[in-house]
Structure 1
Amino acid sequence: MRRLALLVVLGLAVTLAACASDETSTPTTASTALPAGTTPGATGDVGSLGEVRPAVEPTGTVTHASLTMPDGAERTYRLYLPSTFDPEVPTPLLVALHGGLGWGDQFAETNHVEGLAEANGFVVVHPDGTRIRPRLPSGTWNGGYCCGPAAADQVDDVGFVAAVLDDVGQKVTIDPSRTYAMGHSNGGIMSYRLACELGDRIVGIGVVGASLGVDTCTPPAPVSLMHIHGLADVNHPIDGGPGEGVADVVFRPARDGVETMAAVDGCVASTTTTEGDRTTETWTGCDDDSAVAFVRIAGASHAWPGGTPGRSVSGPTYEGYDATAAIWAFLMAHPRR
């Protein structure tokens, strides 16, 4: 009962947001879009945000929608369209996956990605995991070996995300060369699974405090990866192990997933640089201009770096690095060629 009372796990700050409902929307006023021809993160430098604009007030439209899956399950997601959105123009899209016992609205409040989307003109989808109890918004993902009811019941979350992309595609002209996913903890583990099993549609992923959760990874094309992990993460230790969170999982080492993706992408060699608390290992010579980066942050806990601080089983929020902006800059620098 104590675990169910904790509406946090695997690095999610307690940020209470309204639960999703069917097809409700919040329209707001317009703001400035990214100029035509500008490529955010065009430098490809992991330590730089390139031309990514800082997050602003998200004045676009938020919509909550539901889908009925083949097994009869009702699944939900949150969609953010920036105020400059044009349904006829191919638009980059980011799928953002909450951590275990989180939910879409909560993760949107934590990661500030919708403000970044408003400033840079991309679409964000926050799907909701499988609920642990009907009356609670808290959910989990079947990332393979983790986590919770979704993994135990072998929920087809790859199929769910594919269905979300199909549904959003009825409203948005999605740019297939710039369709990405990012996730935190259990959501990061799920992002790895999407790279491996939905790599025909997911071009790149960014994860925080996660690991590869499946044993086979054979995407049909290279999938870029940015993996961020705090060295003080005791929920999902960077070297693997049971951790101190409530997941009751023996986690796999973070490096296993990074090196798997580097091999899958045909990368040749890696170089390591250090800047302050941050050590970045970057693989080069990858197929089709894909890339792999492993960012390790001394002193950072399991909480989303640069996210909204809050009381959490994850530890304090590391404020010296904006994981959301860094991931977006990296991903946009590596579209599918």
Structure 2
Amino acid sequence: MSQDIQAASDSLVIDGRKRTYTVVAGPAPRAALLVFHGSRQNGVVHRRFTGGSFDALARTHDAAVVYLDGYAGNWNDARRESRFKARRENVDDVAFTRAVVGQLASSHGVDTGRVFAVGYSNGGQMVMRLAHETPQLLAGAAVIAATMPTPEHFLLDGATPAAVPMLLIHGTKDRIVPYEGGELAWWARALFKVGGSNLSMPQTAAYFAAANGLDVAPTTAVVASDGATTVERLEYRAGGRPPVVLYTVIGGGHTIPGPKAAPFIVGRTSTAVDTATLLTQHFLDGAVGEASAESAVSSRPAS
């Protein structure tokens, strides 16, 4: 596998706007992981936010890890009440994403049939939009700290999401995007310029399971604990259908589980599982089973 890993910035023009992104890759990546940051971030900031933990996939799995930059710190997601600049100017982030994939195929030789997306918060909302609006683009999608809008608050109500493997991760102590759904707190609506009601995270998992034709009851299991957080896995799986897997981080905040702790203000970051490892197992290594899921457990740091 590739050892000569480099990071390089690139750009393209969409609707007269220069759009930018950073690619971390070896000389011949076979797959692409598109990373969509949260509100008020960009790709470089989000790379630091995760401690560069996703970069390892470029070395271990010959993936191009691509940190895309939103417009003025946001993605034009499909929440009807979003009112940040990307929404007010109706920035075409779907076209931007398509163009990045096309450019990766040309510049890096990426297999366009092996394009996966992971989004955090507003970026997670963008990934859900892509799942509905670009059914042939993604081979898998991961959503962290974001939940589906209820139908009356979803711009694409009536659209059918792509039947692709879905990985969902959410903390029960998320004060920004409540795990239980409903409206965000007044201060979060004001700070992030969003609104509307949302499904709970378990309801979000059920929504995508239905879209994937998974007419089965989910299985549940406790998979890891670091002493401060416990991770439960809820899994919809049936032969021949793309699975939907939800990792509930009991005690976790508006954070990305892994080695890099987020600022305390957004809540506790779990070290019980590593998000980069989960992405590897669910997407780059294929469907995850019981044994491989357990190997996502991180060793608890010494106190």
Cα distance per residue 1:128-152 (max 9 Å; x no partner): 0001xxxxxxx10111114622123
Verify: 1:311 aligned to 2:270, yes or no.
no
More helix by share: 2
Find the residue that maps to 2:126 and give its secondary structure. Answer: helix
Give, in angstroms, the shift of residue 126 of structure 1.
0.8
**CA distance in structure 2 between the partners assigned to 1:147 and 1:223 by the alignment:** 29
Match in the other structure for 2:19: 75
Q: In the alignment, residue 175 of structure 1 is paired with which amino acid?
A: D
Count of equivalent residues = 265
Q: In the alignment, residue 67 of structure 1 is paired with which amino acid?
A: L
Give, in angstroms, the shift of residue 108 of structure 1.
1.7
Please report the TM-score for the alignment, with normalisation by the length of structure 2.
0.80
Structure 1 portions without partners, runs of 5+: 1-32, 35-57, 132-138
Find the residue that maps to 2:55 and give its secondary structure. Answer: helix
CA distance 1:332–1:141, change in 2 (3 Å): same
Percent identity (aligned): 26
**CA distance in structure 1 between the partners assigned to 2:83 and 2:135 by the alignment:** 21
Query: How do 1:216-227 and structure 2 match up within 5 A?
Result: 216-219=158-161, 222-227=163-168
**CA distance in structure 2 between the partners assigned to 1:306 and 1:105 by the alignment:** 18
Q: In the alignment, residue 237 of structure 1 is paired with which amino acid?
A: P
Verify: 1:122 aligned to 2:63, yes or no.
yes
Match in the other structure for 2:233: 280
Q: Which of 98, 106, 109 is the aligned partner of 1:170?
A: 106
Match in the other structure for 1:105: 44
Verify: 1:150 aligned to 2:102, yes or no.
no
**CA distance in structure 1 between the partners assigned to 2:86 and 2:33 by the alignment:** 22
CA distance 1:312–1:76, change in 2 (3 Å): farther
8 A contact 2:214–2:236 mirrored in 1: yes
Verify: 1:252 aligned to 2:188, yes or no.
no
Find the residue that maps to 1:95 and give its secondary structure. Answer: strand
Match in the other structure for 2:146: 210
Give, in angstroms, the shift of residue 255 of structure 1.
3.3
Q: Which of 141, 153, 161 is the aligned partner of 2:75?
A: 141
Q: Which of 117, 124, 133 is the aligned partner of 1:181?
A: 117
Find the residue that maps to 2:252 and give its secondary structure. Answer: coil
Find the residue that maps to 2:178 and give its secondary structure. Answer: coil
Match in the other structure for 1:39: none
Verify: 1:326 aligned to 2:278, yes or no.
yes
Find the residue that maps to 1:212 and give its secondary structure. Answer: coil
Verify: 1:230 aligned to 2:182, yes or no.
no
Verify: 1:66 aligned to 2:66, yes or no.
no
Give, in angstroms, the shift of residue 115 of structure 1.
2.0
Please report the TM-score for the alignment, with normalisation by the length of structure 1.
0.73
**CA distance in structure 1 between the partners assigned to 2:259 and 2:135 by the alignment:** 28
**CA distance in structure 2 between the partners assigned to 1:157 and 1:113 by the alignment:** 22
Find the residue that maps to 2:111 and give its secondary structure. Answer: strand
Verify: 1:198 aligned to 2:134, yes or no.
yes
CA RMSD of the aligned region, Å? 2.2
Answer with 275-284 or 304-313: which moved more: 304-313
